[in-house]
Amino acid sequence: MEYVVRLKDLVKDYGGRKALDGITMQIEEGEIFGLIGPNGAGKTTTLRIISTIIKPTAGQALVCGIDVLKAPNEVRKLISYLPDEAGAYPNLSGEEYLKLMASFYFESGKGIGEALEEGRKISGLGERLKEKSSTYSRGMKRRLQLARTLMVKPKLAILDEPTSGLDVTHAYHLRNVIREYARTHSTTILLSSHNMLEVEHLCDRVSFINEGKLVESGSPQELKSRYGARNLEEAFMKVVGVA
């Protein structure tokens, strides 16, 4: 079976500090996959390697069978990445920003136009899209970024803490958009979060990551049953031996 993401013994060493220590995992097509762990566990490092931003010290990372080290430009055509702290160009309006980003993925005006329309819908920002992004609230900026990530219809959307720091209204909107988008477009989504309750409601499968190692994987239901936990948070605490 061809996996959308396949990691084999991935190691990342930041000059003596091991951020990843032999990560191995696979993600199937159409899955919403959650990478869960506390701050500093290695979530962002894993996502950055898959996104071709940084290189692994050892091991292999494949996206749709393409090695991120050998053909990063090919991988970039298949993915769309939403960093934990993403910004837009402050002197461009939300709409100009979406159009600009779409132009990197599509050559024809039609393709750009369709992506822009999709972006408008996903963001739900309406007329505010015509205003400069520097005037947006944190929640609006995050909606714009999620729209930018998904509007290009990537094979793999990588979302780093997509709802972190947002109020309940914006977080609720974003979760619905992600769930709905994955269902209607069969896009594979890899997201990281330290909000385990959110992940429980959103993901088909999750992996617990702690101190650079994957410590457990499965569907939220499986993990809860396996550890006799009421929720993923409790399951995680039992896995890492705290609870």
Site residues, other proteins (CB under 8 A): 14-15, 48, 51-55, 73, 76-77, 79-83, 85-92, 100-101, 104-105, 145, 148
Q: How far is the CB of 15 from other proteins (least distance, A)?
A: 6
Q: How far is the CB of 22 from other proteins (least distance, A)?
A: 20
Structure tokens that stand for 163 in this block: 């709802």
Nearer to other proteins by Cβ, of 56 and 220: the residue is 56
Strand locations in the chain, DSSP E?
5-14, 17-27, 32-36, 58-63, 66-67, 79-82, 156-160, 188-193, 205-210, 213-218
Q: How far is the CB of 96 from other proteins (least distance, A)?
A: 9
Q: How far is the CB of 114 from other proteins (least distance, A)?
A: 17
Q: How far is the CB of 178 from other proteins (least distance, A)?
A: 18
Give 75-80 contacts, CB < 8 A, sequence gap 24+: 76/52, 77/105, 78/154, 78/155, 78/156, 79/50, 79/51, 79/52, 79/154, 79/155, 79/156, 79/157, 79/158, 80/148, 80/149, 80/150, 80/152, 80/154, 80/156, 80/157, 80/158
Nearer to other proteins by Cβ, of 27 and 88: the residue is 88
Nearer to other proteins by Cβ, of 92 and 229: the residue is 92
Nearer to other proteins by Cβ, of 12 and 128: the residue is 12
Nearer to other proteins by Cβ, of 14 and 172: the residue is 14
